[in-house]
Amino acid sequence: MGIEIDKRIILCDFDGTITTRDITNTLCRAFIPERWAEVEQLWETGVISATECYELEYEALGFRRQGIDAFLLATDIDPGTGRLLQAARELGWEFLIVSAGFDYYIETVLGRHGLSAPYVANYLYFDEGGVPRFDFLAHDDPKCRRFKHPCAGCKPLTFDAWKAKGYRIAFVGDGSTDFCMAEHFAAKAGPGDLLFAKTRLLDYCRQQGVPAIPYDTLADVAEVIRDS
């Protein structure tokens, strides 16, 4: 018999997890707080989809590329990001960013820090006038009833795809777009799978009785990974 290789992957949220703040939410909270609260409520209660939510928020913001780029320059990353990426490389864990946000933000922010990582995210580009335009991820779980469809990418489907390939999974997240993943872990996690949570996700896991490992920075995640 051949030796079974331990296949492992870290699936990591981006906004509020790798970055120290959620980019879209912070923009909206700073510049259109009342409209943002209204639109977020419509999304969280299932009146509009995530894709509609994004479109309404950016329409209300009215930002062009120059303004978005300036905001990204002021966006910091978790100080433990490099340590987690290094630990993954050294220990043979694959690493994939799974984001309900945008590829442009991931590439710009990580690139400014001299880092890169593969990702699954929505596509943001700019037209000739610098207006942001979107192409949203098509994969969606038709059985999910948490949010109105279509979602801006389904993280549990990414979990399932890697599980089908025999991977042990560590997921790292922080917010409401990760609640679905917490529920998925409760239903489908196997031996050795790890769920790391902070802020809103950690509160949700505690309320729902979902086992999760608290963390403050990604350096904490790296240390647990090294010991697992």
Q: Using one digit for the tens of pLDDT, what is the confidence trace for 37-57?
A: 999 999 999 999 999 999 999
- Alpha-carbon gap, residue 222 to 85, rounded angstroms: 8
Q: Where are the beta strands (DSSP E) in the chain?
A: 8-12, 93-102, 119-126, 132-135, 168-173, 194-197, 213-214
Q: To 10 degrees, what angle do helices 103-112 and 65-73 make?
A: 40
- Are β-strands 168-173 and 132-135 bridged in parallel, bridged antiparallel, or unpaired? unpaired
pLDDT at 116 over 70: yes
For residue 58, give both structure tokens: 């950016």
- Alpha-carbon gap, residue 107 to 71, rounded angstroms: 14
pLDDT at 19 over 90: yes
Q: What is the band of 214 on the pLDDT scale with cuts at 50, 70, 90?
A: very high
Q: What is the band of 148 on the pLDDT scale with cuts at 50, 70, 90?
A: confident
What is the pLDDT at residue 5? 59
What is the pLDDT at residue 41? 95
Residue 74 phi, psi (nearest 5):
-95, 10
User: What is the share, in percent, of the chain residues with pLDDT greater than 90?
Assistant: 87
pLDDT at 8 over 50: yes
Looking at every residue in the chain, the average pLDDT score rounds to 94
User: What is the share, in percent, of the chain residues with pLDDT greater than 70?
Assistant: 98
Euclidean distance between the first and the last CA atom of the chain, given in angstroms as a whole number: 26
Q: How many CA atoms lie within 13 A of 141 on its CB side?
A: 16
Closest CA to 174 of 207, 212, 127, 129: 212
pTM: 0.94
Mean pLDDT of 148-166: 92
pLDDT at 4 over 80: no
Mean pLDDT of 181-208: 95
What is the pLDDT at residue 218? 98
CB-CB contact of 198 with 222 (8 Å): no
Domain ranges of the chain: 8-21+78-101+138-227
- Alpha-carbon gap, residue 69 to 163, rounded angstroms: 36
Higher pLDDT, 143 or 26: 26
In the CATH hierarchy, which top-level class contains the domain 8-21+78-101+138-227? alpha beta
